[in-house]
Copies of this chain bind each other. A is one copy, B any other.
Amino acid sequence: MSMSKKTLVADHLREALARGDFEPGQRLPGEEELAEELGVSRATARLGMRLLQDEGRISIVAGRGAFAADPRPIIHLATPLSGEDSERFESGYRAHLRKAGHLDVDERVKVSLDTMRAKVARRLGEKPGSGLVVIRSSNRYVDGALWQSQITYLPFGIAGGTVLMSPEHLNEGVGAALRELGFHEEWNRDIVGARMPSTSEAETFRMGPGIPLLLQERVVYQGERPLRFTVTLMPADRHQLLYAGGEVPESSWLPDPDVNVFER
């Protein structure tokens, strides 16, 4: 069984990467060079490199060349915390970003009002089409590129006419605002999945090919009543989610920055 030539090209590069011939971020041989070295046409070399790109191992930039991938995911604490814990982590999150060399962190919040789409109505336990939802979209930008996109849907019966409808007066976050309004976020259900981004999503997140999108959906309840529904989109090479469960010792909450599911 002989492999196809493009597979040989891909294997050649994969092995070189596994051997450590190239530091993360370092430039690899170009299409022309690789084609000559392995005795294939430029088209074939290109297809082989594309395989590596689709595996997320290299990043190809038009006009510059191919570079060894350098994923540095940031671990998010996804387990819901009580008030002061959540603040402690929030500051930790920004600090974590700063420590990784990302100084330019910006958050933009937009609030709008709309009728419920079918999916949102189902999550919030309402009849589709009928009610209104307050939609809070919060986009975090790091170094000018979209880092994380979050959309929170709140039933109008809960958020209508309250502080939750003004983007400015919400420094404490949605959870704290709900608490002040007399609601209690008692429990939540998260669903985590992944899919490839559409071309437009890949653009706004500035994701190269071969990078999946991590999706988190959270519905927060008080008893049987849904308080909010939050959808979070994150490029998977920059985000990983931490869930702690059971009787977690006080000292073990914070994530270990070295933990990373990409490591082999």
Interface positions of A (Cβ within 8 A of B): 7, 10, 14, 51, 54-56, 71, 73, 75, 78-80, 119, 122-123, 185-199, 209-217, 221, 223-224, 231, 236-237, 239-249, 252, 258-264
Contact = CB atoms under 8 A, between A and B. Distances in A.
Contacts of A264: 119
Contact of A188 (B75, B189, B246): B246
Given A185-B246, A188-B244, A199 B7 contact: yes
A187 B246 contact: yes
A119 B261 CA distance: 10
A80 B246 contact: yes
Tell which of A189, A221, A242, A260 has the most Cβ of chain B within 10 Å.
A189
A245 B214 contact: no
A73 B192 CA distance: 11
B187 A247 contact: yes
A190 B246 contact: no
Tell which of A14, A51, A195, A199 has the most Cβ of chain B within 10 Å.
A195
B223 A191 contact: no
Contact of A186 (B210, B215, B246): B246
A191 B236 contact: no
Contacts of A241: 190-193
A261 B191 contact: yes
A253 B248 CA distance: 21
A195 B244 contact: no
B192 A192 contact: yes
Contacts of A252: 187, 189, 221, 224
Contacts of A246: 80, 185-188
B259 A191 contact: yes
A248 B73 contact: no
